[in-house]
Amino acid sequence: MRFPLFWLAVAYAAGLALFEPVDDSPRILCLLAGLALLTGIVTLKGRWLRTTLLFALAGFFLTGAATIRLVTAAVPPNRVDRLVAGREIDLSEAVRLTGWLRRAPEQKPFATIYELELEFVETGGRRHPTSGAVRLSYFGGLDPEDWPEPVPALRYGDRVEVLARVHRPVNRRTRGSFDWEGYLARRGIFLEGDLKSFLLLKTLSGRRGNLVLGRIYALRTRLLERLDQLVPPDTETDKNAVLRAMLLGDTGFLAHRLREPFRLSGVYHVLVISGLHVGIIAVFLYWLLRRLTGNDRALTAATIAALVFYLLLVEDRPPIERAVWMASLYLVARLLYRQVHLANPIALAALLVLFLHPLWLFEPSFHLSFGAVFLIAFFAVPWVERTSAPYRQALGFLDAEERDEQLRPPHLAQFRLDLRLLATLLAGWFFWAKDKEPAARRLLTGIVRLGLTVWDFFLISFAIHLGFVLMTALYFKRVVWVGLLANVLVVPLVGWIVPLGLVALLLSLLWLPAGALVAKATGALTGCLLWIVDWLAGRGLSYGIPPPPPWVVVLYLAALVLLGLAVARQRLARWAGLGLAALVLVVVTFPFPRQA
Rounded to whole angstroms, how far apart are CA atoms 275 and 282? 10
Yes or no: say if 223 and 507 are a contact pair by the CB < 8 Å rule.
no
The confidence score (pLDDT) of residue 175 equals 59
Strands 158-167 and 542-544: unpaired
Residue 435 has pLDDT above 90, yes or no: no
SS3 95: strand
CA-based R_g, the chain, Å: 27
Query: Using one digit for the tens of pLDDT, what is the confidence trace for 509-534?
Result: 999 899 999 999 999 999 999 999 99
Residue 1 has pLDDT above 70, yes or no: no
Q: Which amino acid is at 472?
A: T
- Among residues 216, 237, 246, 234, which one has the least CA distance to residue 504? 246
Yes or no: say if 218 and 473 are a contact pair by the CB < 8 Å rule.
no
Yes or no: say if 360 and 366 are a contact pair by the CB < 8 Å rule.
yes
The confidence score (pLDDT) of residue 523 equals 93
Among 57-66, 172-181, 520-529, the minimum mean pLDDT is found in 172-181
Residue 6 has pLDDT above 80, yes or no: yes
Strands 111-123 and 478-480: unpaired
Yes or no: say if 148 and 168 are a contact pair by the CB < 8 Å rule.
no
The confidence score (pLDDT) of residue 263 equals 87
Residue 22 has pLDDT above 80, yes or no: no
- E strands, 106-178, in order: 106-107, 111-123, 126-129, 133-139, 158-167
Distances (CA, A) of 130 to 82, 117, 315: 10, 10, 26
Strands 106-107 and 111-123: antiparallel
DSSP state of 48: -
- Among residues 573, 136, 153, which one has the least CA distance to residue 386? 573
Rounded to whole angstroms, how far apart are CA atoms 103 and 156? 5
Share above pLDDT 90 across residues of the chain, in percent, rounded to a whole number: 26
Residue 545 has pLDDT above 60, yes or no: yes
Rounded to whole angstroms, how far apart are CA atoms 491 and 210? 36
Rounded to whole angstroms, how far apart are CA atoms 579 and 574? 9
For residue 189, the cross-strand partners are 133
DSSP state of 207: E
Yes or no: say if 135 and 163 are a contact pair by the CB < 8 Å rule.
no
Scored b (16 or more CB within 10 A) or e, 300-312 reads bebbbebbeebbb
Yes or no: say if 81 and 133 are a contact pair by the CB < 8 Å rule.
no
Strands 189-194 and 133-139: parallel
Query: Using one digit for the tens of pLDDT, what is the confidence trace for 372-402?
Result: 888 998 999 899 988 888 888 888 777 777 6
The confidence score (pLDDT) of residue 231 equals 92
Confidence of residue 97 (pLDDT cuts 50, 70, 90): very high
Strands 542-544 and 126-129: unpaired
SS3 92: coil
Rounded to whole angstroms, how far apart are CA atoms 493 and 357? 33
The segment with the largest mean pLDDT, out of 46-55, 248-257, 557-566, is: 557-566
Query: Using one digit for the tens of pLDDT, what is the confidence trace for 316-369?
Result: 667 888 888 888 888 888 888 767 778 888 888 899 999 988 988 988 888 888
Q: Which amino acid is at 354?
A: L
Share the mean pLDDT of the chain: 85
